Chain A
Amino acid sequence: ELKVEQNPLFLSMQEGKNYTIYCNYSTTSDRLYWYRQDPGKSLESLFVLLSNGAVKQEGRLMASLDTKARLSTLHITAAVHDLSATYFCAVEETSGSRLTFGEGTQLTVNP
């Protein structure tokens, strides 16, 4: 059974600081996703990572994938308040199949 673990689950940081969220998964997978969720809203796709060593960047967020270590990271650079949200990683075992989600990381960026 595929398990996905995120840490930390709660993260409070100051504006301008850097931090990393970690996502570990237990079996080989086809794809790894990072989603953002604002309170009361649905999931917004941030990144899709397909292969070992993949790195994607969008603004202050950068995601990477190490399939050998079964680890993905979401790095936040110079955080701003607008990044406050819950971030989920999700793993897809085979292309087009169901997603298994991590518990989510609730990020609060304080001015």
Chain B
Amino acid sequence: DVKVTQSSRYLVKRTGEKVFLECVQDMDHENMFWYRQDPGLGLRLIYFSYDVKMKEKGDIPEGYSVSREKKERFSLILESASTNQTSMYLCASSLSSGTYFGAGTRLSVL
């Protein structure tokens, strides 16, 4: 069975903190993605990766970075969290069989 695991369901952080959101997939997928979802704005792509150590900017990369040191793990990093990064973050991985989402991380930045 397909599995995309996000390390935290809920996170509360303070402004200025460095935040790591972790995502692991067990399907040997090459492609991984980070989206954020906000009411009225839908789902927007932050970053994606088609291979280890490879990354590409999505539509809203500002304020974020990513790391893909191993094929199964794709990390989203908020270098200095701000209140406008309060959101639901969704990790996904894909291959020819389809795109699968993790359970999501609801991040609140205070």
**Residues of chain A whose beta carbon lies under 8 Å from any beta carbon of chain B:** 31, 33, 35, 40-43, 45, 48, 88, 90, 92, 95-99, 101-104
Contacts and interface: CB of A to CB of B under 8 A. Distances in A.
Interface stretch (B64-72, B75-83, B88-96): B88-96
A99 B95 CA distance: 12
B42 A42 contact: no
B101 A42 contact: yes
B109 interface: no
Nearest to B10: A40
Nearest to B56: A98
Contacts, number: 46
Given A97-B31, A101-B43, A45 B98 contact: yes
A31 B99 CA distance: 10
Nearest to B50: A96
Q: Is the interface of B mostly helix, strand, loop or mixed?
A: strand
Interface string B9-34: 00000000000000000000011010
A45 B33 CA distance: 16
Name which of B42, B45, B95, B99 has the most chain A CB atoms within 10 A of its CB: B99
A99 B102 CA distance: 15
B4 to A, nearest CB: 9
Contact of B30 (A43, A96, A102, A104): A96
